[in-house]
Structure 1
Amino acid sequence: MAQIGFGGSCYWCMEAVFRSIRGVSLARSVWFTASLAPEPSEGVTVTFDEDVIDLQSLIHIHLSTHSCTEEHALRKKYRSAVYVYDSTQAVEAGECLQRLQVLFPQPIVTQVLEIDSFRTADVSIQDYYYSDPGKPFCCQRITPKLRILLREFAAYVDPARQAVIESQDSGRND
């Protein structure tokens, strides 16, 4: 199993996206620090099976489910990043970002940062979406990201998770 980290939006949103993907065995909400970005920022650690899903696909999903081309006032708390564990991962992630840039009309602001440390968020907020997907925040903020996942990356979605997402969409009127 391989491990990588992602930051970009709130950790509840990212955790739900990555927990929905086949081949991901664990996605945990955390606070990351990196030598080039020492201020803590929300993110997720992702443990995945490279035989089921590769790093480039995970990065593509990540870029597509948050505002990866936008600088905004909350970027310190919601840093757009791929958090790597070593220099080999850093090179691979950087190459993935370069290859994927052609899919986005604006420059990607996502950074590749080597993890200094991370602190796991409180256990009571882990698995936030799947513990109660009907919560207002889930419906308003997380489900729209999961719709993108279903629309653009359906082949990667775990069927059991897809059923939960679709059950939240059944009452939609748009």
Structure 2
Amino acid sequence: MKRIIMTSLVLFSIIGAEAQKPKLEKATFGMGCFWCSEAVFQRLNGVTNVRSGYEGGNVPNPTYDEVCTGTTNHAEVIELQYDPTKISYDELLEVFWKLHDPTTLNRQGADVGTQYRSVVFYHNEQQKATAEKYKALLNKENAFGKPVVTTIEKAQPFYVAENYHQDYYIKNGQAPYCRAVILPKMDKLEKLFKAKIK
């Protein structure tokens, strides 16, 4: 009898622990080079996982070299999981729009090509509505001095990029590209969103 009671207690504690785990949601953004995007979103409180990859193209399982040709129509994106009790989709969008230039078509700085386009891939109708509303507001307020060209598209198959692209800034922070391009974004993140950083 004691064994049955103990087993029941263990099961209830496991079930209780599972029920208390936050339900994670998914978001996907393209904002130029995914090395920069990954580095920024990895630092946000409530973001539990970030993967660099490719989305929005017409070639299955593309390689980095293929995507770089601009012929596969994929964008370099990050797919992240987040805890909506700690950070909202609205807040993720705020970081997305403030940490890149959403007014330049198919380019970010020196990175030029359709793979560097500004894009939000939504995973449900609520994300779509939120992104469209936010974009409309930015354009209405002329927030950037030019129209926002970010496209808002339904999520498509996501292909994880090669291993050497994952955690790129963490592994290569002293590399010239990281110091010249990513570090300024990290500084901007610190300045604008200090309260949201882990």
Could you tell me the TM-score, scaled by structure 1's length?
A: 0.82
- Give runs of aligned pairs for residues 135-150 of structure 1, distance below 5 A: 135-150=175-190
Larger Rg: 2
Number of the residue aligned with 1:84: 122
Counterpart CA distance in 2 for 1:132 and 1:60 is: 27
For the structure 1 residues 7 and 85, does the alpha-carbon distance in structure 2 shift closer, same or farther, using more than 3 Å as the test?
same
Residues 7 and 41, structure 1, Cα contact 8 Å, conserved in 2 = yes
Number of the residue aligned with 1:119: 159
Moved over 6 A (4+): none
Number of the residue aligned with 2:131: 93
Specify which structure has the higher proportion of strand.
1
1:75: how far off? 4.5
1:96: how far off? 2.4
Q: How many residues align?
A: 156
Q: Which amino acid aligns with 2:76?
A: E
Number of the residue aligned with 1:162: none
Q: Secondary structure at the match of 2:174?
A: coil
1:66: how far off? 1.0
Could you tell me the TM-score, scaled by structure 2's length?
A: 0.73
Counterpart CA distance in 2 for 1:111 and 1:94 is: 9
Identical counterparts, % of pairs: 28
1:72: how far off? 4.7
Residues 34 and 113, structure 1, Cα contact 8 Å, conserved in 2 = no
RMSD over equivalenced CA pairs, Å? 1.8
For the structure 1 residues 12 and 26, does the alpha-carbon distance in structure 2 shift closer, same or farther, using more than 3 Å as the test?
same
